[in-house]
Structure 1
Amino acid sequence: MTSAHPTASRQRASAPHAKEHHMRKTVRTSIAAAAAAALLALTACGSSTDSSAPAADGPYTAPAKDITATISVSNWGDPGDKAVYDGVAKRFKEKYPNVTVNNNFTPITTWTEYVNKLVTQAAAGQAPDVINIATEGVELGMSNELFTPLDGFLKNDPEAASLRKDIDPKLLEGFSKDGSTYLMPNTFNTMVIYYNTKMFKAAGIERPSDDWTWDDFLAIAKKLTTGSGANKVYGFAMPYYSFGITPWLYSNGTSMMSADLQTAQLTDPKVKETLGWVRDLVTEHGVSPQPKGADPYQLFPAGKAAMTGAGHFVTGGFAKAGFSDYDILPWPKGTTKSTVFGAGAFAISKTSENPALSWEFIKMLTDQQTQKQWADAGAAVPSTKTAASTPEFLASPKHADEFYNSLSYAKPVAAPRAYNVLDPAFMRAMDEIMSGQDIGSSLEKAEKDVEEALQQ
């Protein structure tokens, strides 16, 4: 997805199925905003009933356990995710036996079907009560007021207080606007550097410090680039998708978008400088293969690359492939220490006639029991510190705590309401840049496409 997406969110990857992994990345980054766009129809076509959340200073009382009602949930993911969601629905049914949960699940690899389902539901006047969406689609959703603010629940529900304290504030900030929180995060991914511990040891390279720099990174990549032809081993296998390139931008103090996500800044001199440096890893220094057709999540576990960049989403696949000779590091510093994160989260539709029941369901989707399931799945990072601190989650790699700790210097993926235009436009520019075309003109074309979309 991206998130996630790369992001965020709950992607699984395995060395034997890396093509599928990349397809999921492409699917998520190109469609998360499209999913939010489909949700615009939900506002127009859904129920006109306006059921608000609890007042900011009013008490919250959970619905009676014998209440009779139906709530619908719009979900996405892979079979592992579906098992988690089905488990939550079963637990919810035990608490509210007379409540029917219509858990509308769409596999992560069929985003068109997911969007079509949302549109179909809207046309039938059946907008979902609970919406699962990723960082990439949130700005469009919030700018069109699709979600009910959760402030009343978060302030007045005693069970919410402990959960909120257990979630890093940055995750909640990423789902907030104008002082109100609209979504509850359940999982996330940050981009970190993976390195082959055996290859580092054989080359006499100590683990770099957590404050290592671009220069340190390049020096190590050069030392670990050896051989030629079929025996070529690269120092770094580039994660070639926008979420994977973004940490280079952030760590050089720049971004594809302005801080308020209203203006594209792809022609910023620092963006040009950063992408020139990324290209030079391939064309000048030769420490990374041409990224087109070079799958980092095959090269790295196969010992054909000493380092790569990824989120936690690759760990499950590495485990299945029997690959464990790796550890992780923070992304190296350019002008600053930074990386990117993307998350998955749940919102209550503004048109929901059962906001309190929807809130109770969201609590189960994000509670410690569900969080532990995410932690055990080897996909995304659970949103609570408790789940990310269990011995099972921290068992591998050695510095697994960095997955959660990296939030302290991470920033959310720059996802404007026209993210479905930004992502492909940026990658078209990257393809041109990596093929030797002029960086400035390639980025100018991409920025023009994005600005036109933002003005619509």
Structure 2
Amino acid sequence: MVTRRDLLRASGFGAIALAAAPLIAACGGTDSAASSSDLTLTYLGTADQQQVWNKLFTEFQRKNPDIKLKATPSPVDNWAAYFDKISTQLAGGVRYDLIQVATEGMQLFASKGLLHPLDDLVKANQAPLDDFLADAHPNLVKWNKQYGSPDGKTYFLPGDFNTMCLWFNKEVFQKAGVEAPTNEWTWDDFLKAGRTIKQKTGAFFYPATAEYFIGVMPWLLTNGASTMSEDWKTPTCDSPAAIEAAEFVRQLVAEKLSPPPGGSFDRFTLAVQGKLATFGGGRWPIVNIRQQNAVDKFGIVPWPKKVGQGSPVGWNGIPIMKSSNKPEKAFEFLKFLVSAEGDAFFAKLGGTVVPARKSVADSQGYLDDSPTGTENLYAALDYATVIPAPPKGNLIQRDIEDTWGQILAGNTDPAGGMKKMQEKVAANV
């Protein structure tokens, strides 16, 4: 369940359409205070995202008319900023029953003792949860248990998720006479195609960025590298494979196959216009692409590989706060999210995440009006790696993004930059 700065910029983490029904019109705003009887939730959401979430909230309210939900969005531009904001609010006395927490912040919040353990509530609701767990990908269930708790207690239910694949404009490739990407594409294939498309069409090939989930991890993982060890105890940023990945992406910038890093541009619109051949994404670009009536222009394939297939994965978790005096009501919302009906409802809306349930991910409600290869997003769970996010993950993310950005801009060489990244990450492990 997704981040991830580009997920949010320019509707990047997905944008959803249409305003909420009057039943919960207050859910999208922050002006009116919640009463003591309200079930309160805060989540990361741009204006477009708020519109989609509000539709989900409306459906929950329809199913649970006795529970009044008050949801407050935080329209910040990345998960680290969101976690900083929520942490500051909590320290200042603001109280929520539920908060949205992506993988990047699970240990951050759990390690501070802020969350209500779900174990007893899970036992009391075993049948519907067993149905969900039987339908979810086993890796998602395993990872949620492995990385979602510092003490063995259950704080999160595995939710909808995002992996990273390569979205490409079929027409740009056809115009340049370049064969479309395949599931077996390599870094060499990627570079060769980019040079040809740049030469024949003038289009940029791929936007190199410093976003941790989007622009850094896919390149590391497809070269057998990562920012940290599997247990998130040891930084591995300066391994030869990690340095090689940084060198490769810097080369894309140096050859002007990428727009200049650090600038403000809407990758989705550029891609629709044929000015950009590919971009990385999970499920979140779908709303923007649909809004521009461009679904048929695009295909989705696994990330090009050097050593092997790789993708980061992060999922949506909504824990109950320890300070909540309504844990049973809060758990009703969690049950709704993981139910077949709730998961299918959000997927049909054009939700910005991949359904956790395999049955929903295989359904026409999810796959209709989506690019060819959409199934590769769920299939990536077979080989994905959880985005490293130890308790100080918000600080680590900032250091990784800042340093990778300096490498892309040519302000430091890849080897020296990755060594600096190693030192910064080590200081916060």
The TM-score normalised by the length of structure 1 is 0.76
SS at the partner of 1:226? helix
Write the deviation string for residues 84-111 of structure 1: whole angstroms up to 9, x where unpaired.
34314413533xx3x5x45241233388
Question: Quick one: distance in 1 between partners of 2:304 and 2:320?
Answer: 38
- Residue 384 of structure 1 corresponds to which residue in structure 2? 357
Contact 2:114 2:321 in 1 (8 A): yes
- Residue 198 of structure 1 corresponds to which residue in structure 2? 171
Write the deviation string for residues 378-404 of structure 1: whole angstroms up to 9, x where unpaired.
322222222222213212212221121
Match among 350, 372, 381 for residue 407 of structure 1: 381
Question: Quick one: distance in 2 between partners of 1:294 and 1:122?
Answer: 33
Question: Quick one: distance in 2 between partners of 1:123 and 1:434?
Answer: 38
Contact 1:193 1:310 in 2 (8 A): yes
Contact 1:75 1:105 in 2 (8 A): yes
Q: CA deviation at 1:184?
A: 1.8
1:175 and 2:144 matched = yes
Contact 2:222 2:306 in 1 (8 A): yes
- Residue 24 of structure 2 corresponds to which residue in structure 1? none
Report 1:10-159 matches (<5 A): 11=7, 20-21=10-11, 71-77=39-45, 78-91=49-62, 93-94=64-65, 97=66, 99=67, 101-109=68-76, 120=89, 124=93, 127-154=95-122, 157-159=126-128
Contact 1:75 1:103 in 2 (8 A): no
Contact 1:195 1:326 in 2 (8 A): yes
Q: 1:266 to 1:110 in 2, by over 3 A?
A: closer
Question: Quick one: distance in 2 between partners of 1:294 and 1:117?
Answer: 26
1:250 and 2:233 matched = no
Q: CA deviation at 1:371?
A: 1.6
Match among 259, 274, 280 for residue 303 of structure 1: 274
SS at the partner of 2:159? strand
SS at the partner of 2:64? helix
SS at the partner of 2:419? helix
Match for 1:411: what amino acid?
A: T
Write the deviation string for residues 110-153 of structure 1: whole angstroms up to 9, x where unpaired.
887986666556655x7433332111101212333433443454
SS at the partner of 1:300? helix
Q: CA deviation at 1:154?
A: 4.1
Contact 2:76 2:82 in 1 (8 A): no
- Residue 260 of structure 2 corresponds to which residue in structure 1? 290
Question: Quick one: distance in 2 between partners of 1:113 and 1:337?
Answer: 30
Q: 1:392 to 1:401 in 2, by over 3 A?
A: same
Question: Quick one: distance in 2 between partners of 1:75 and 1:367?
Answer: 20
Question: Quick one: distance in 2 between partners of 1:308 and 1:407?
Answer: 20
Question: Quick one: distance in 2 between partners of 1:165 and 1:128?
Answer: 30
Report 1:286-435 matches (<5 A): 286-293=256-263, 295=265, 296-324=267-295, 325-378=297-350, 379-395=352-368, 396-435=370-409
Write the deviation string for residues 202-255 of structure 1: whole angstroms up to 9, x where unpaired.
44444443222212222222222225xxx7213333344221221110111111
Contact 1:138 1:175 in 2 (8 A): no
Q: CA deviation at 1:300?
A: 1.5
More strand by share: 1
- Residue 4 of structure 2 corresponds to which residue in structure 1? 5
Contact 1:237 1:299 in 2 (8 A): no
Q: CA deviation at 1:327?
A: 0.4
Q: RMSD across aligned C-alpha pairs, in angstroms?
A: 3.0
Q: Rg bigger for which structure?
A: 1
Question: Quick one: distance in 2 between partners of 1:110 and 1:446?
Answer: 22
Match for 1:162: what amino acid?
A: D
1:225 and 2:192 matched = no
Q: CA deviation at 1:359?
A: 1.9
SS at the partner of 1:312? coil
Q: Which residues of structure 1 form unaligned runs of 5+?
A: 13-18, 26-67
Percent identical across equivalent pairs? 26
- Residue 273 of structure 1 corresponds to which residue in structure 2? 244
Question: Quick one: distance in 2 between partners of 1:118 and 1:93?
Answer: 30
Q: Which residues of structure 2 form unaligned runs of 5+?
A: 15-35
SS at the partner of 2:280? strand
Question: Quick one: distance in 1 between partners of 2:179 and 2:417?
Answer: 39
Match for 2:423: what amino acid?
A: K
Q: CA deviation at 1:286?
A: 4.1
Write the deviation string for residues 33-69 of structure 1: whole angstroms up to 9, x where unpaired.
xxxxxxxxxxxxxxxxxxxxxxxxxxxxxxxxxxx97
Q: 1:133 to 1:93 in 2, by over 3 A?
A: same
Contact 1:6 1:311 in 2 (8 A): no
Q: CA deviation at 1:432?
A: 2.2
Q: CA deviation at 1:190?
A: 1.2
Question: Quick one: distance in 2 between partners of 1:87 and 1:192?
Answer: 31
Contact 1:341 1:410 in 2 (8 A): yes
Question: Quick one: distance in 2 between partners of 1:403 and 1:330?
Answer: 8
